[in-house]
Chains A and B, each alone.
Chain A
Amino acid sequence: MSQSTQTAKLMVDGPVHGRGPWHRYVFTGIVVLLCLWVLVPIYLLVVNTLSSPADVNAFPKRLVPDVNTESVRFFLNFAGVGQALWSSVKVATLTMILSILAGAPAGYALSRFDFRGKGSFRVLVLMTRAFPLPLLALPLAVMYIRVGLDDSILGLALVHTTLALPFAVLITYSLFSGIPIELEEAAWTLGCNRLEAFQKVILPLVLPGITASAIFAFVISWNEVFAAAVLTIENRTLPAFLLQGLSVAPLHLKFAGGAVLVLPALIFIFLVRKYLFSMWGIANR
């Protein structure tokens, strides 16, 4: 790893970082500033979440909360939160797997082959994201009720997969495009067939990137509300279950609910960060 970070440093040049001590301070300063830019809004959400209802409504607001867990406890004790959380995990996991299984081969095909219909396929993939999903929920729900997929984890995961698929296809496409075809050709000349070459040479290189796009699929599914609210009833996911009422909830519950939604995603990204961040490691070949 340390080897790879050394080479990575040399690999790409930015317009910014010089070498003198002065540059060093500026560099560190900018990095810290950008970290604050990301973290401060989240910190403020936490402040509101951990404040008493009176403090949430007060002005001026305190920047350090007088810790009060009333709002958080309300959500933890809310009937059905546990089950909704579990449904969310199941749907998101299925979405993650399905979107990679369907998306990665398509990404590979787009990057490696020229064939008729390639352009149409790319447009179809992009259309999926460019059309407002809530309008599709009605015909989908009618179809689901008719075929018996209604109110099932699988049914919702299928819709979420459709949402995540364009990302999976595009991300894997750019990953595969980044790997020189010569590398595969070299493996073929060494006696590997196409599948073996893919397994031995390409897969190890792109696996971290694929994991990253899987994470993204997970997050997309985790945060999706509308289809979840229409297509599930007893198996409601957490956002559908909680967010439904949030926009009309009193302020302190709004923030606590927001935190409850954000937290699992943060933990998830933290757990899989190794994959997300080892992506540049693939260049160390």
Chain B
Amino acid sequence: MYPKSLPYLLLLPATLFLVLFFLYPFTLVAWQAFTTDTGDFTGEFFQEMATHWKFNTAMLNTFLLVLAVVPFQMVLALYMATLVNGMTRGRDFILYIWTIPLGISDLAAGLIWLAIFEQSGFLNSMLHGLGVIEQPVGFLGYQNKGTIFLAIVLAETWRATAIVLVILVSGMGLIPKEYAEAAEVFGASRWQRFIRVTLPMLKPSLQTAMILRVILAFEVFAVVVALGGTNLPVLMSEVFTWQYELRDANVAAAYALVILAISIACTLVIMWALRVPKGARV
């Protein structure tokens, strides 16, 4: 039906890119995690990483953030996507507004949300103006890890839900209307149709969106540092600390490999959980 080489030809440009600009430097960096400066193979850098007193905290914080942010924004984006699909007027406009954060970098997002939550920030100003508080509250103080965490979750959700929304909206657009109509004929309620028709048909998009978000969430960094300072170490901030402050490229590489391993493992789980059975493809 088609030459055996066709898929490989199609993959060639992308593969070349990844090999040259990712795999080559990656191999050099990954090598550092396992070898000393003299070239001997060693596990000491992983050991140094794992026994450092911040390692467990960073790992825990990262997982908690991923678990809090990603499911929350998946549901939110799904909800927003169905709202958009239920609109008859103004859909372009609403979608434009909801996708604005797509263009905002994590650094800028950190800046914006810091202006809201800091002690002399907008949230305190508003609460003060409403007479709720007399003295500004230190939301981001070191004893308030809970509020710091909440602020980071809000900021990350605000910043990164738009990409999920775009993927889901486009995915919903691809579901043939006949399916929903057929379900309606058989008397399925709206909720049933959503659960039985829309969601299963949306699996490829859900899978894509979730994988992207989980991978990026494990690398969460700029917003955490902006809002949490040193209070909430995460894996990525430890990579930076080891590389640029402690100047230990070996341990930094070990950390980076840990992030990579976790991300890939999670990706495989998501791929499996949201797999589209063969033959059931749309």
Query: Do A and B touch each other in the complex, judged by CB within 8 A?
Result: yes
Which of these binds chain A: B23-31, B37-45, B62-70, B138-146? Answer: B23-31
User: B177 at the A/B interface (Cβ < 8 Å)?
Assistant: yes
- The interface residues of chain B lying within 8 Å CB-to-CB of A76 are none
With A61-B120, A177-B281 given, is the CB distance from A194 to B13 under 8 Å?
A: no
Known: A31-B94, A105-B10, A105-B13. A9 touches B259 (CB 8 A): no
**Interfacial chain B residues near A279, Cβ < 8 Å:** 166, 169-170, 173
A54 close to B (CB within 8 Å) = no
A154 interfacial contact with B, CB 8 Å? no
Report whether B14 and A273 are in contact in the complex, using a CB–CB cutoff of 8 Å.
no
Q: Are A61 and B175 in contact (CB under 8 A)?
A: no
**How many residues does chain B have at the interface if contact means C-beta atoms less than 8 Å apart?**
110
CB distance B212 to A167 under 8 Å?
yes
Q: CB distance B28 to A115 under 8 Å?
A: no
Size range of the chain A interface in the assembly: 35 or more
In the assembly, what is the distance between CA of A153 and CA of B61, in Å?
A: 38
Check: A233 CB closer than 8 A to any chain B CB: no
With a CB–CB cut-off of 8 A, which chain A residues contact B107? Answer: 223, 225, 239, 243, 246, 258, 261
Q: Does B182 contact A (CB under 8 A)?
A: no
- Tell me the chain A residues, 1-42 only, with Cβ under 8 Å from chain B: 5-18, 27, 30-31, 34-35, 37-39, 41-42
Residue pair A223, B105 in contact (C-beta under 8 Å): yes
CB of B239, distance to nearest CB on chain A (Å): 5
Contact of B177 among A30, A103, A283 (CB under 8 A): A283
Kindly provide the distance from the CB of B121 to the nearest chain A CB, expressed in whole angstroms. Answer: 7
Per-residue 0/1 for B154-197: is the Cβ within 8 Å of any A Cβ (1 yes, 0 no)? 00001000010011011111111100110000000011011101
**Across the interface, which residues of A come within 8 angstroms of B8, CB to CB?**
109, 115, 117
> Which of A's residues lie within 8 Å of B, judged by CB?
5-18, 27, 30-31, 34-35, 37-39, 41-42, 44-45, 48, 57-61, 63, 98, 101-103, 105-106, 108-109, 112-113, 115, 117-118, 121, 123-132, 134-136, 138-140, 143, 158-159, 161-162, 165-167, 169-171, 173-175, 177-181, 194, 209, 212, 215-216, 219, 222-223, 225, 239, 243, 246, 254-255, 258, 261-262, 265-266, 268-270, 273, 276-277, 279-283
* Known pairs A135-B29, A262-B108, A269-B102 / 12 extra A-B pairs, C-beta < 8 Å: A14-B86, A15-B191, A102-B13, A109-B8, A113-B2, A115-B8, A129-B263, A130-B263, A165-B14, A265-B105, A283-B173, A283-B177
**19 pairs from A and B in contact (CB 8 Å cutoff):** A6-B88, A10-B177, A35-B94, A38-B97, A39-B97, A106-B10, A106-B15, A113-B6, A123-B267, A124-B18, A130-B263, A131-B259, A158-B17, A159-B21, A165-B18, A174-B167, A175-B170, A269-B100, A282-B170
